[in-house]
Structure 1
Amino acid sequence: MDEPQNFEIFLVTVPGMEEALCAEALERGFAGALAVAGGVTFQGNWHDVWRANLCLRGATRVLARIGGFLAFHLAQLDKRCRKFPFGDLLRKDVPLRVQVTTKASKIYHAGAATQRIETALKDTHGLTLDPEATLVLKVRIDDNNVLFSLDTSGESLHKRGHKEAVGKAPMRETLAYLMLRQAGYTGTEPVVDPMCGSGTFVIEAAEIAAGLLPGRSRSFAFQDLANYDEAAFTAMKDVPLTVPTAQFYGSDRDAGAIRMATANAERAGVAGYTHFANYAAGELMPPEGPKGLVIVNPPYGARIGNKKLLYPLYGTLGQTMLTRFKGWRVALVTSEPSLAKATALPWKPLGPAIAHGGMKVWLWQTPPLR
């Protein structure tokens, strides 16, 4: 296939965070990035695909729209799949999985469409099909338009390759980044998480401050494509690091969580800038030095515990912030407005709901406390 210089690249993200990811993509030099439902789209080339996987902290996965055609029935789908130049990108020795969705099309049976596509891939193109394969060809048949996309990420991009230990109801790294960003964090101020669990907010903040690439320690599905250039991708990883001017603090009343967070920070290479301690939120004291951001993902009661028992916890957290953290901003994640209000903190107007763990949550934010 005469590969076009540019094609559509789609960045998948958490619903409710499209604008935040778009801002990150533009900041990272992905020109023309546009927020749409479920993610961000822009025109780019394969080097942009590699760089998006390696560098973007807020994307869940990166899809490369590799082409398509019109098909009005299964026989036509079969014939045109056999002519489509899959071999320019897909290797015969790398297993592939096919996912088909159909909408408002004459080809309405996704199972039958999958069977036709898989047969064409095996018989004409000599490709290996495996339902457990990491490399996924996504096929969307919408109003008789067939669109092929390759999932170039493989495992979800929140899996940075450092966090082996996680607690209950963990915050994904991609969402933690987007929330830090929405809270105005730029990498130059201290961050405190008084209910840090496995340390995601603290570690993510420290990585940003140090200039560490989120994908530096993991592999990606695009490395198994025929056009992958290992030397070019290795060169992308060579970026200057900085020594953070701020420090990053996590605490939790669960000693096991603190052990997990400390080990995760060590694996991520930020142990020199992160500090974890075992105590309850009511015992929290601000670190010495400049003011910064307190960001916390407390229990909501929806999945962990009884909501009624959480009101005193939120009240104590709010009192601690109001009496000891003057000049600091507070950002709090919860699915329950009544719990956020129990803190008595001066919340700003809410942004959009965010999909997290099968529920809707909001990021509540204050101005600098007075």
Structure 2
Amino acid sequence: MTDTNAFEIFLVAPPGLEPVLADEARAAGFATPTTCPGGVTIHGDWSEIWRANLTLRGATRVLVRLGSFRAFHLAQLDKRARKFPWGEVLRSDMPVRVEAVCKRSKIYHHRAAAQRVEKAIAEELGATISKNAALVLKVRIDDNLVTISLDTSGESLHKRGYKTATGKAPMRETLAALFLKAAGYDGHEPVLDPMCGSGTFLIEAAEMSVGLLPGRARHFAFEHLASFDAETFAKMKAAAEGTTPEGPPRFFGSDRNAGAIANSRQNADAAGITPLTRFTEGSISDLQRPNITPGLVIVNPPYGGRIGNKKLLFALYGTLGKVLLERFAGWRVAIITSDGGLAKATGLPFLPPGPPVDHGGTKVKLYQTAKLS
């Protein structure tokens, strides 16, 4: 197994936003963030793995590379899997499941490969194999090199542990956090979302502003590992706690749907940041500029591939752009949409858009402006 003081750790990211996650990891003091397709590689010990899960807002999952070996046929895979030091990481009393991928290798049957590793773990360690296990080992066989990694997160990290109310096509918290960072949000300026849905952008921004940990209210798969130290982890959480959220509001959400506003308020309350937020029911044409220093308007409007008929949306985008240009001088605008024509319909002076990013099976881009004049 790899030296436990220098694990290779893979932070899964939405393709297209890997550099933004690398910037977040770098700012948080993680060692050697390096982008690659689908994520960011860093290095560190188990405490860094815990910290990545607990503190990084943009990572979808945190995988740790446990080790690798060559295997050219199933019998060799079986033999070498039995010699792998499973007991250094896994506990015999915790169920586990194995997922395998085979590429360009003499071992080409991924299910057979997974079964061999599962059998080795069951017979050498004594752990139960279960398809419902929270602990997931990922075996990748590429060019006859077997690489064994462990998903240390469990449920996707966008599941913060407190959001209970969602509407149509919700933005995942991890994706919202990365779009906020890509739009230049640093935690110090007001944020307004005029189509706030369940409030994801505003709750993420508010938490960032006071240093609330994204993983503070949930559990992780690594808590079931042999390497886990509950006392040390508790101290880590306590040491990283942010400040108590206090008003006046700096994060403003509106939506024409009363149910969306109720959801936003419920989620903000569950997150503990209600004093920082203000949610009001209203249409785009009713939108008013808050009496506060200019900041960021960020919005994920409906688009044809997501909700509704695209032809009916041009007027909505036009109204949004007109209102922002007339009432929000000094504010920056960031819009997430799948359609460049809809973005153009706003009449806003957008900079070149960001890369395509998958959002629920639809490719979207971030369009943003400099400060409006």
Q: TM-score, normalised by structure 2?
A: 0.97
Which residue is 1:310 aligned to? 313
Which residue is 2:280 aligned to? 277
Name the SS of the counterpart of 1:149 in structure 2. Answer: strand
Which residue is 1:364 aligned to? 367
Aligned pair 1:263/2:266, yes or no?
yes
Cα distance in 2 for residues equivalent to 1:252 and 1:122: 53
Residue by residue, what CA displacement relative to the aligned partner does 1:149-202 show, whole Å, maximum 9, x if unpaired? 000000000000111011100000001011000111111111000000000001
What does 1:302-341 align with in structure 2 at a 5 Å threshold? 302-341=305-344
Counterpart of 2:222 in structure 1: which amino acid?
Answer: F
Name the SS of the counterpart of 2:196 in structure 1. Answer: coil
Q: Is the 8 A contact 2:151 2:221 kept in 1?
A: yes
Cα distance in 2 for residues equivalent to 1:360 and 1:251: 25
Which residue is 1:156 aligned to? 156
Which residue is 1:18 aligned to? 18
What does 1:1-370 align with in structure 2 at a 5 Å threshold? 3-238=3-238, 239-242=240-243, 243=245, 247-370=250-373
Cα distance in 2 for residues equivalent to 1:86 and 1:111: 20
Deviation at 1:240, TM superposition (A): 4.6
Could you tell me the percent identity over the aligned residues? 59
Residue by residue, what CA displacement relative to the aligned partner does 1:124-161 show, whole Å, maximum 9, x if unpaired? 22111110111100000000100110000000000001
**Aligned pair in 2 of structure 1 residues 74, 91: CA closer, same or farther (>3 Å)?**
same
Q: Which moved more, 1:207-216 or 1:1-10?
A: 1-10
Name the SS of the counterpart of 1:186 in structure 2. Answer: coil
Deviation at 1:97, TM superposition (A): 1.1
Cα distance in 1 for residues equivalent to 2:55 and 2:219: 13
Runs (4 or more) in structure 1 with deviation over 6 Å come to none
Name the SS of the counterpart of 2:264 in structure 1. Answer: helix
Cα distance in 2 for residues equivalent to 1:114 and 1:9: 22
Deviation at 1:114, TM superposition (A): 1.3
How big is the alpha-carbon RMSD for the aligned residues of Structure 1 and Structure 2? 1.2
Unaligned ranges ≥5, structure 2: none
Cα distance in 1 for residues equivalent to 2:242 and 2:225: 30
Q: Is the 8 A contact 1:197 1:258 kept in 2?
A: yes
Cα distance in 2 for residues equivalent to 1:189 and 1:107: 54
Q: TM-score, normalised by structure 1?
A: 0.98
Cα distance in 2 for residues equivalent to 1:193 and 1:2: 46
Deviation at 1:4, TM superposition (A): 3.1
**Aligned pair in 2 of structure 1 residues 140, 2: CA closer, same or farther (>3 Å)?**
closer
Q: How many residues align?
A: 370
Cα distance in 2 for residues equivalent to 1:154 and 1:223: 10
Q: Is the 8 A contact 1:188 1:246 kept in 2?
A: no
Q: Is the 8 A contact 1:52 1:62 kept in 2?
A: yes
Residue by residue, what CA displacement relative to the aligned partner does 1:15-69 show, whole Å, maximum 9, x if unpaired? 0000000000000000211111100002211000000000000000000101121
Q: Is the 8 A contact 2:2 2:66 kept in 1?
A: no
Residue by residue, what CA displacement relative to the aligned partner does 1:77-136 show, whole Å, maximum 9, x if unpaired? 000011111011111111111100010001011111112111111122211111011110
Deviation at 1:2, TM superposition (A): 8.1
Cα distance in 2 for residues equivalent to 1:241 and 1:141: 42
Unaligned ranges ≥5, structure 1: none
Cα distance in 2 for residues equivalent to 1:302 and 1:181: 25
Name the SS of the counterpart of 1:355 in structure 2. Answer: strand
Counterpart of 1:337 in structure 2: which amino acid?
Answer: G
Cα distance in 2 for residues equivalent to 1:320 and 1:301: 22
